[in-house]
Amino acid sequence: MLFAAVMTLLLFAGCSNNQENNDEAVVANAVSFDEVLATRRSVRSYDATKTISEAEVRELLIATQETPSWANQQPSKYYVAMSPEKVEAVSNLVGERNKQNIAGAPVLIVSTYEKGKSGFFRGEQTNEVGDGWGAYDNGLSNAYFILKARAKGFDTLIMGMRDSDALRTLFNIPENEAIMAVISLGYRSGEPRKPEHRPLDEVVEFF
């Protein structure tokens, strides 16, 4: 009985130590929000040898569901190209320059928003911005996506040059959805240049 009790205590202590070690490893590998902001770039060169799983993409998209939106309308939707055929088809619809920039990215995502939701109340436009609020909410959602992607070690490029009509046909996107951007998702193949930012006092006024 004494031997069994001692073994139980040792086993419990070992499990506790292992859990503590695991917790410390998680903390050590955690990336701060400031690091995410500082290292996120619009990446135009991808490592074609690295892939991303559907489960990993789902984790990023789950993060977008935490995005605030007008009256919680959640107008943003995403169409994910992961098969080689669909990725190639989308890459042919973003312009030649962008196509070169995203070569090697394993995932391409079309971002849309449902019109007539954000900026409206009981079907009536609530102010002069109207459906611009849908675009605003979609931009917030995309921001959550790219920041979560960077926190997981991925890289992105948001592209506004795209053939919306062809994308609508390719993914059977309903007419009530405005197609906003195509977002590439992958791993950077090198360290991108950090662009200069305007001085804060040029873009901010305090009263």
> Taking the C-alpha atoms of 74, 172, 50 and 61 in order, what is their torsion angle to the nearest 10 degrees?
10
Regarding whether 100 and 26 lie in a shared domain, the answer is: no
Regarding whether 9 and 41 lie in a shared domain, the answer is: no
Q: Is 38 part of a structural domain of the chain?
A: yes
Phi and psi for 17 in degrees, rounded to 5?
A: -65, -40
Q: Is 198 part of a structural domain of the chain?
A: no
Regarding whether 103 and 9 lie in a shared domain, the answer is: no
**pLDDT attached to residue 180:** 98
**pLDDT attached to residue 25:** 36
Q: Over its length of 207 residues, how does the chain's per-residue pLDDT go in tens digits?
A: 444 444 443 444 454 444 444 443 333 467 899 999 999 999 999 999 999 999 999 999 999 999 999 999 999 999 999 999 999 999 999 999 999 999 999 999 999 999 999 999 999 999 999 999 999 999 999 999 999 999 999 999 999 999 999 999 999 999 999 999 999 999 999 999 999 999 999 999 999
Regarding whether 39 and 26 lie in a shared domain, the answer is: no
**pLDDT attached to residue 4:** 47
**pLDDT attached to residue 29:** 61
Q: How many residues does the chain have?
A: 207
At 102, which amino acid appears?
A: I
Regarding whether 173 and 135 lie in a shared domain, the answer is: yes
Regarding whether 23 and 63 lie in a shared domain, the answer is: no
Number of structural domains the chain divides into = 2
Regarding whether 146 and 112 lie in a shared domain, the answer is: yes
Regarding whether 172 and 73 lie in a shared domain, the answer is: yes
Q: What is the pTM of this model?
A: 0.85
| Residue 9: domain span | 2-30
**pLDDT attached to residue 30:** 77
Regarding whether 143 and 73 lie in a shared domain, the answer is: yes
Regarding whether 38 and 18 lie in a shared domain, the answer is: no
Cα(83)–Cα(105) distance, integer angstroms: 12
Regarding whether 77 and 61 lie in a shared domain, the answer is: yes
Regarding whether 155 and 57 lie in a shared domain, the answer is: yes
Q: Is 179 part of a structural domain of the chain?
A: yes
Phi and psi for 50 in degrees, rounded to 5?
A: -110, 140
Residues 6+ apart with CB under 8 A from 150: 36, 39, 40, 156
CB atoms within 10 A of CB 119: 24
Q: Is 102 part of a structural domain of the chain?
A: yes
In whole angstroms, how far apart are CA 152 and each of 40, 56, 64, 198? Answer: 11, 9, 14, 28
Cα(27)–Cα(126) distance, integer angstroms: 45
Looking at residue 157, which CATH number applies to its domain?
Answer: 3.40.109.10
